[in-house]
Amino acid sequence: MLDLLQNLGRRGLGVFERLGRASLLLVQILSGLHTLLPRPRLVIQQVFSVGVLSLVIIVVSGTFVGMVLGLQGYNTLVDFGAEESLGVVVALSLVRELGPVVTALLFAGRAGSALTAEIGLMKATEQLSALEMMAVDPVRRVLAPRFIAGFISMPLLAAIFSAVGVLGGYFVGVGLLGVDEGAYWSQMQDKVDLYDDVYNGVIKSLAFGWVATWIAVFEGHDAVPTSEGVSRATTRTVVYTSLAVLGLDFVLTALMFGD
Amino acid sequence: MGPPRNSDSRTVVQQQDNDEPLVTIRDLTFRRDGRVIFDGVDLDIRRGRVTAIMGPSGTGKTTLLRLVGGQLRPERGSIRFEGEEITRAGRGRLYELRKRMGMLFQNGALLTDMNVYDNVAFPLREHTDLPEAMIRDLVLMKLEAVGLRGARRLMPSQLSGGMARRVALARAIALDPDMILYDEPFTGQDPISMGVLVRLIRTLNESLGLTSVLVSHDIAEAASISDYIYLLAGGRVVAQGTADELYESDSQWAQQFLKGLPDGPVPFHYPAPDYAGDLLAGGEGREAAA
Amino acid sequence: MMSTRTTEIWVGVFVAAGLAALFMLAMKVSNLSALNEEDGFTIEARFEDASGLKVRSPVTMAGVRIGRVVAIEFDKQSLQAVVRMRIDRRYDTLPADSSASIYTAGLLGEKYVGLEPGAGADECEEAALEAELEGRAPEPCEGGTRVLRDGSRIKITQGSLVLEKLIARFVSQFLEGGGKKEAAQ
C-alpha cells in the first residue's frame, strides 16, 4: 500500500518536473525568437517540412470529413424536412470544431511525431551537443524555427481543412443528394458568423498549434538519447498532444460558445 | 613488453613563451544520479601539448570534456581556461569561450541535413561575416588538411565512420581554435583510419599550434602521440606523467592499465558474498529475490 | 534534398493556399457581406411576448430582409420586451406608423420580425394633434410622410405566438363554444 502511494507520489512529482522543464524550454524558445528575424530561411525551411508536407493528409482528410458530414447531415435533416440547412450544418461543424481539432490531431500524428523524432535523434547522435560546443544555441537554431513554423502552419492547415470540407459537403449534398445549391450557400452565409465562428475557429487552431508544437519540440529535446528513448518520446508526443488538444478544445468551446 | 617506441619523426615540442597551462582544473567534484564521478581532481593542460586523459570505462572521461566545455557545472572546484573561470561564466561569455575550443565527438556528430562542405562551413557562417568566397577558401583548406577535399559534396550518411570523424575534425578547426577536445577518437576504428587519425591529431597540433586534449582508453595509440598522460580511476587522478614515466612508475593503477592486466586495483570480481558460502546456501535451486 | 528555391516556392504556395482558404471561409461561408450593414439606423419596438426571438434574427418587410435585431431587453417599468433593430440605411422610406410582428419562418424555423407598412402618418397631422393635446398653438410645418429614422419607436406590435398559448386559447374557445351550445339548447 505504501509502495503504491510512494509510486503515485513520485509519478506526480515527475509530472510537475516535466511540466516545469517544458515551461522553461518554452521561455527559452520565446526569448530567442528575435534571432530568427534576420534569418527567415530557417523558418521557411521548417514551414515546408511541417506545413507543406502535411497538405496531402489535410486535404484528403478534410474532403472526406466534409463528404461524410454532408451525408450524415442530410440523413438526419431530411427527417425534419430541413435538408436545405445542410450547408449550415457542414460549415458550422467544420469551422467551429472539426477544422481546428481534426487538423490538430492529424498534425500531431504527422508533423508532431516527425519533429520529436528528428530532434530526439539529433540529441542521440550528439548533434545538439556539437552545436553547443560550436557556440550555437541549439534551442535558438533548431527548436525555435520549428516552433514558429508549427504555430504559423496550424491555422492555415485548419482553414484549408474547413474549406475543402465545405466543398466536400457541397459535392455530396448538392451534387449527389440533390440539396438545392442556392440554399446550401445562402443558408450557410446567413448563419455562419465571421467573428463568432470563423474567427473563433482561427483562435482555436492557433492555440492548438502552440500546444502541439510545444509538446513535440519538448519531447524531442527531453528524450532519452537512445533509440528506445526516441521512440517513446514520439509516442508521448502523439498521445499528449491529442489529449491536450481535446481538453483545450472543451475549455475554448465553453469560453467562446457558452453563454 | 615495454613502452611503445615513439617514432623519431616526432618533433620536440617547442618551449612556449607562456608556460602557464591553458586549462587548470582544481579540486573538481561532480556527482550524477547520486554517484560520485569526480572527487577532487586536479589537472593541468599545457599549451601546445597533446594531453591524454585515460582510464577504465565509466570513469567519466566524456563528462570531463563536458565540464571543460561548460556544458555541465561541477558541484565544487574550479576550471580555468586562459585564466577565466568556466564554472561561473554566464551564457554569453561561455559561448565566446567556446569559439576558441573545438570538440570532436565520438561519432563525429555532423549535422545530418547538410553535406560535408556545409558542415565545415557551418561555424564560419554562424560566427563570422566573411563573404562566401572567403568561406569557400577556408573550407577547402580545412578539408585539404584532413584529406577530404574531394568528398565535399557527400552527405554525412554517405561517409564511413572514419571519414565522418575527419570531416568533424575539419569542422572543429574551422574557426582556428586554441584547443581541441577529442572524445574517444580511436574507438571502433580500423587500423588504417586509426593511423590516419593519429597522424592528423599530432600534425595539426604542431602545425596549428594547438593544444589537444585526448580522452581515450586506447593506450597504444594515445600514448604514442601524447606529451603527458593523466590516469583517472575512482574519480581521482591515480597516476600522471609522460608515457615513459608511467611505464616505469610504481603505481598499481598505472601498471594494470598500461599492461592490460585483468585484475588489480580495478578488480575482476564485482563485489559478491563469499563463494563457498553462496554455493552452499542455495538449497532450492532458485535464487530468492533479494 | 530539395533546393532552397523550390522549398521557398512551395512554402509560398502553402501560405497562399491557407490564406485563400481563410478568405473563402470569410467570404463564401460566413456572413461577411451581411456585416456591412453595420451602418444603419436603430429603431425600437416593444412586445408583450418576444419568445424565441434572438439577437441577429432577421427583420423583414414584404418578405425582404432589411435589417437585424441587435438587442433584446426587458423593461421593468412596463414589463415588456424591448427589441432594438438596426435597419439598413438605404431603407429610409418606411412609414412611421408601420407595425411589427414576430413570425416563425417555416415549421421549425427561427423567429423573425416582420414589419408591415402603415397607412402613412402625415408629419404635420401628428405634430398638430400633439400640440392640441398639450394646449398650445401648432407649429408651422411642411407636409410629407413621417418615416422611421434613428431612435423611432414602432407603436403597434404583435408578440410571437407561443404554441402552448395557442393550444390553451383553442381549447378554451372550444370549451366555451361547447358550453354556449349547451346553454343555447
pLDDT digits (tens, 9 = 90+) for A209-220: 999 999 999 999
Contact criterion met (CB < 8 Å) for A159 and C33? no
Residue A142: closest C-alpha in chain B: B111
Task: State the pLDDT at residue C154.
Answer: 81
In order of A48, B73, B156, B222, the CA distances from B121 in angstroms are 24, 30, 14, 29
Q: Which chains touch C (3 or more CB pairs under 8 A)?
A: A
Residue C38 DSSP label:
G
Interface test with B, best of A35, A119, A133 (most B CBs within 10 A): A133
Instruction: Spell C98-110 as b/e; 16+ CB within 10 A means b.
Output: bbbbbeeeeeeee
3-state secondary structure of B18: coil
Top pLDDT among C122 and C111 is at: C111
In order of A21, A42, A215, B71, the CA distances from A25 in angstroms are 6, 19, 10, 16
Task: State the pLDDT at residue B8.
Answer: 41
Mean pLDDT of B175-181: 91
Average pLDDT value over all residues in chain B: 82
Contact criterion met (CB < 8 Å) for C31 and A191? yes
A206: pLDDT strictly greater than 80: yes
Q: What pLDDT band is residue B15 in, cutting at 50, 70 and 90?
A: very low
Interface test with B, best of A134, A141, A142 (most B CBs within 10 A): A134
Burial of A206 (0-12, 13-18, 19+ CB in 10 A): middle
Contact criterion met (CB < 8 Å) for A133 and B99? no
Residue B180: closest C-alpha in chain A: A133
B110-136 residue pLDDT tens: 999 899 999 999 999 989 889 999 999
Count CB atoms within 10 A of the CB of residue B94.
Answer: 17
Top pLDDT among B61 and B285 is at: B61
Residue A116, Ramachandran bin (φ over 0: left; ψ between -120 and 50: alpha; else beta) = alpha
Q: Which of A19-23, B14-18, C120-124 has the lowest mean pLDDT?
A: B14-18
Burial of A241 (0-12, 13-18, 19+ CB in 10 A): buried
Q: What pLDDT band is residue C30 in, cutting at 50, 70 and 90?
A: low
Mean pLDDT of C147-174: 79
The answer to whether A137 faces chain B, any CB pair under 8 Å, is yes
Burial of C91 (0-12, 13-18, 19+ CB in 10 A): middle
The answer to whether A197 faces chain C, any CB pair under 8 Å, is yes
Contact criterion met (CB < 8 Å) for B126 and A130? no
Spatial separation of the C-alpha atoms in residues C32 and A195, rounded to whole Å: 9
The answer to whether A38 faces chain B, any CB pair under 8 Å, is no
Q: What pLDDT band is residue C1 in, cutting at 50, 70 and 90?
A: very low
Contact list in A for residue B95 (CB cut-off 8 A) is 135, 137
Contact list in A for residue C70 (CB cut-off 8 A) is none
Q: What pLDDT band is residue C120 in, cutting at 50, 70 and 90?
A: low
In order, the DSSP letters of A33-84 are GGGGTT-HHHHHHHHHHHTGGGHHHHHHHHHHHHHHHHHHHHHHHGGGT-GG
Question: Does this complex have an ipTM over 0.90?
Answer: no
> Residue A188: which of C7, C29, C107 has the nearest Cβ?
C29
Dihedral sign computed on CA atoms, order B248, B251, B257, B259: positive
Contact list in A for residue C8 (CB cut-off 8 A) is 44, 48
Contact criterion met (CB < 8 Å) for B71 and A137? no
Spatial separation of the C-alpha atoms in residues A249 and C151, rounded to whole Å: 42
Task: State the pLDDT at residue A154.
Answer: 94
pTM, two decimals, is 0.77
Spatial separation of the C-alpha atoms in residues A244 and A226, rounded to whole Å: 26
Q: Which residue is associated with the grid cell 561575416?
A: B129
The answer to whether A156 faces chain C, any CB pair under 8 Å, is yes
Top pLDDT among C144 and A252 is at: A252
Q: What pLDDT band is residue A121 in, cutting at 50, 70 and 90?
A: very high
Top pLDDT among A61 and C66 is at: A61
- Number of cross-chain residue pairs from A and C with Cβ atoms under 8 Å apart: 95
Contact criterion met (CB < 8 Å) for B105 and A129? yes
The answer to whether A134 faces chain B, any CB pair under 8 Å, is yes
Q: Which of A45-49, A175-179, A237-241 has the lowest mean pLDDT?
A: A175-179
Dihedral sign computed on CA atoms, order B215, B217, B223, B229: positive
Average pLDDT value over all residues in chain A: 91
The answer to whether B110 faces chain A, any CB pair under 8 Å, is yes
Q: What pLDDT band is residue B85 in, cutting at 50, 70 and 90?
A: confident
C34: pLDDT strictly greater than 70: no
Task: State the pLDDT at residue C29.
Answer: 64
Q: Which chains touch A (3 or more CB pairs under 8 A)?
A: B, C
Spatial separation of the C-alpha atoms in residues A111 and A52, rounded to whole Å: 10
Spatial separation of the C-alpha atoms in residues A146 and B230, rounded to whole Å: 43
Contact criterion met (CB < 8 Å) for A190 and C22? no
Computed over its alpha carbons, how large is the radius of gyration of chain A? 21
Convert A20-37 into a string of H (helix), E (strand) and C (coil). HHHHHHHHHHHHCHHHHC
In order, the DSSP letters of C59-87 are EEETTEEEEEEEEEEEETTTTEEEEEEEE
Q: What pLDDT band is residue B280 in, cutting at 50, 70 and 90?
A: confident
Q: What pLDDT band is residue B18 in, cutting at 50, 70 and 90?
A: low
| Domain edges within chain C | 1-30, 40-118+146-164
